[in-house]
């Protein structure tokens, strides 16, 4: 079920896993069921962990579910512990395998999807992101799931010039294949007919969440994966999320030409929920 309240930023780095809900989420009557693809990854595990802390149910797909642990950023002293929670279902399989992806949507009504897949092309293949995303979007349509957030990257599509110089060099050399796959992945999402947000973070860290998520028009800075996760969760649960059918570049630290500070601090006193 989609959220009925405005987006509020995650505050601080408290390991909220054992709490009934984070301080910024609406009560349990609005719990959602969220599917996370690549669920053991560093960003994806933040999505899983924060969604569970919010009282949501999560179904995660990854090839190695045993790698899912409490993330460093939001997990605090619990970081590295296994996550075992009644509201969590983990499925072992590849996101490019339709039969595995179908299992994610079987026996439950999924409200929203986060795709946070990654890996080196020599390990996951040159077209894993595109192939998997096609399979996932088809499964969403077959199951009437409308909303998807995809963790892409600064430098993809029309954000090429927002990448810092050193990163541009990597994009043109060692990361050339990854960026070809990411560009194709974004194109597949854009033409899906679904409600989508292509999330383009700057340099990812495993720091505690800052609660500051700037949408950047200039050069990207860095951002904790915990903040990226919160942006993705908002993208799929807030009905009037302002970056649907858009590809915002987000950073928390550094970066130039901010167009929006989505943190709670920025919203204080101006009556603007965003």
Q: Which residues of the chain form contacts with ligand NAP (CB under 6 A)?
A: 38, 40-44, 61-64, 67, 94-96, 116-119, 124, 128, 132, 151, 153-154, 201, 203-204, 225
What burial letters (b/e) apply to 245-270, b meaning 16+ CB within 10 Å?
eebbbbbbbebeebebbbbbebbeee
Q: Using the minimum distance from each CB to ligand NAP, give the nearer residue, 40 or 54.
A: 40
Q: How far is the CB of 100 from ligand NAP (least distance, A)?
A: 8
Nearest approach in angstroms of CB 217 to ligand NAP is 17
CB closer to ligand NAP, 148 vs 151: 151
Shortest CB 57 distance to ligand NAP, Å: 19
* Closest distance to ligand NAP from the beta carbon of 167 (Å): 8
Lookup result for tokens 């009504």:
109
| Beta carbon of residue 132, minimum distance to ligand NAP (angstroms, whole number) | 6
- Residue 178 or 212: which CB sits closer to ligand NAP? 178
Place of tokens 């096609």: 134
User: Toward ligand NAP, which CB reaches closer, 13 or 251?
Assistant: 251
Q: Quick one: 4 or 169, whose CB is closer to ligand NAP?
A: 169
């Amino acid at each position: 079920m989609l959220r009925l309240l405005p987006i509020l930023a995650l505050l601080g780095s408290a390991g909220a896993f054992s709490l009934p809900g984070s301080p910024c989420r609406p009560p349990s009557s609005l719990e959602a069921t969220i599917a996370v693809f690549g669920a053991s990854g560093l960003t994806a595990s933040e999505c899983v962990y924060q969604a569970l802390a919010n009282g949501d149910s999560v179904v995660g797909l990854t090839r190695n579910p045993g790698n899912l642990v409490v993330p460093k950023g939001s997990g605090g002293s619990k970081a590295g512990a296994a996550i075992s929670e009644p509201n969590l279902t983990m499925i072992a399989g590849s996101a490019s395998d339709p039969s595995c992806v179908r299992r994610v949507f079987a026996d439950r009504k999924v409200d929203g999807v986060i795709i946070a897949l990654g890996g080196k092309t020599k390990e996951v293949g040159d077209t894993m992101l595109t192939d998997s995303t096609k399979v996932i979007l088809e499964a969403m349509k077959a199951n009437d799931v409308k909303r998807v957030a995809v963790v892409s990257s600064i430098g993809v599509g029309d954000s090429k010039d927002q990448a810092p110089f050193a990163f541009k060099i990597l994009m043109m050399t060692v990361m050339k294949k990854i960026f070809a796959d990411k560009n194709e992945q974004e194109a597949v999402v854009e033409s899906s007919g679904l409600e989508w947000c292509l999330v383009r973070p700057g340099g990812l860290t495993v720091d505690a969440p800052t609660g500051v998520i700037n949408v950047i028009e200039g050069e990207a800075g860095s951002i904790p994966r915990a903040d990226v996760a919160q942006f993705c969760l908002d993208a799929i649960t807030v009905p009037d999320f302002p970056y649907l059918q858009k590809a915002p570049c987000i950073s928390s630290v550094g970066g130039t030409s901010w167009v929006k500070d989505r943190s709670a601090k920025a919203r204080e006193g101006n009556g603007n929920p965003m």
